[in-house]
Amino acid sequence: METWARFVWNGDSLLPGPFPLDDVRLSSRPLHIEFRRNGRGGLPLDALRILIPSWDKVQFDPDGFSHREVMDLLLLGAERVCIDIWASDKEIELGHAVTERVLLRERLPTELNALYLTDELFPRLKELSHLGPGGILLVGRKKGDVGFVHDRLPRDILASFDWWLAPDEGNEVPLKNRGSVTGWVLDGSRLVGGSQ
């Protein structure tokens, strides 16, 4: 099971912290870096072209719906790149057709309930199980939501994907079936050692 240090891109630093982008401690762990841009605005590709080689391993969540962004980040040296599960099937298929290193991402809604799971999320996951990408990152926004969803996944969906979990708590959470988890994406500041 893998553990990646989760950060949010903040222009000239990573949060929580802040950690300057050239902080040597960032090269000591695999990094998961999120961009919070609601699918709008460009990615800082010029800065990333310089930074990615200085980090150990890095995967990105560009908060996007386009296979082009996925490809741009992979070409710069990213280990894996996320695409939203609600992106069009065509965008997901195009990204996956080029590489296995596409990770589907579901950012759970703040008003999570069982109806969302049964009427929206589970049907979408069943559709995606036939498109190709084999991994899903489940991102929490409230305490307890990642465990709530993971514990309610139907067996066929659970078995269809490698599961990466990013709980809002920032640390591992209790689960009924921990064996299905491929990786944890946890609070970067705690994992890397606090800010300077």
Enumerate the domain spans of the chain.
2-192
Whether residue 133 has pLDDT greater than 80? no
Q: Which two tokens stand for residue 65?
A: 């719906």
Stretch (H or E) spanning 186: strand 181-187
Rounded to two decimals, the pTM is 0.93
Residues ≥6 apart with Cβ < 8 Å to 135: 80, 103, 104, 161, 162, 163, 164, 182
pLDDT tens, position by position, 80-90: 999 999 999 99
98 vs 129, which has greater pLDDT?
Answer: 129
The pLDDT confidence band at residue 28, using thresholds 50, 70 and 90, is confident
Q: How far is CA 154 from CA 79, 132, 159, 160, 177, in A?
A: 29, 19, 9, 10, 12
- Which fold, 2-192? TIM Barrel (3.20.20)
